[in-house]
Amino acid sequence: MLKLKQTKGFTLIEVLVALAVVAISMSALISSSSTSASNAAYLQDKTLAHWVGMNKVAELQLSTTWPSVGLKKGDYELAGQDWRWEAKISSTDDDSIRRLDLKVFRPDSTEAVAMLLAYLGRPLG
């Protein structure tokens, strides 16, 4: 009499459950890495915009001319990227100090990426 040898293996249901678990895990992993990549780009933009603002503040603080009260605008290039800046210069109670509110924008945006507040002292001499 012939004996049939029983082979052990996975059933179709077990294979489908395993594939479902792998698919859910992979989608979570892809979503997580996508979020991480977009956060890195956001932080890079924030950092570069802040550097643009700090550079512009330093330029105005080191300038030998006393800036007039009002709104000044300009463009700035940093790290191969173009930026726009707006500086609102206003007077303070002290005649030798001006307040500087500076905003930095991407060229195609109306929302500021970075905002800085600084004070300018009247140049000596």
Higher pLDDT pick, 32 / 22 = 22
3-state secondary structure 25-55: HHHHHHHHHHHHHHHHHHHHHHHHHHHHHHH
- For residue 56, name the pLDDT band (cuts at 50, 70, 90): very high
Phi then psi for 69, rounded to 5 degrees?
Answer: -70, 135
Q: Where are the domains of the chain?
A: 40-121
Fold of the domain spanning 40-121: Pantoate--beta-alanine Ligase; Chain: A,domain 2 (3.30.1300)
> SS3 of 112, please?
coil
Percent of the chain with pLDDT over 90: 54
Q: pTM for the full model? A: 0.71
From the list 104, 123, 117, the residue with the least C-alpha distance to 45 is 104
Other Cβ atoms closer than 10 A to 117: 10
DSSP-derived pairing of the beta strands 81-91 and 97-105: antiparallel
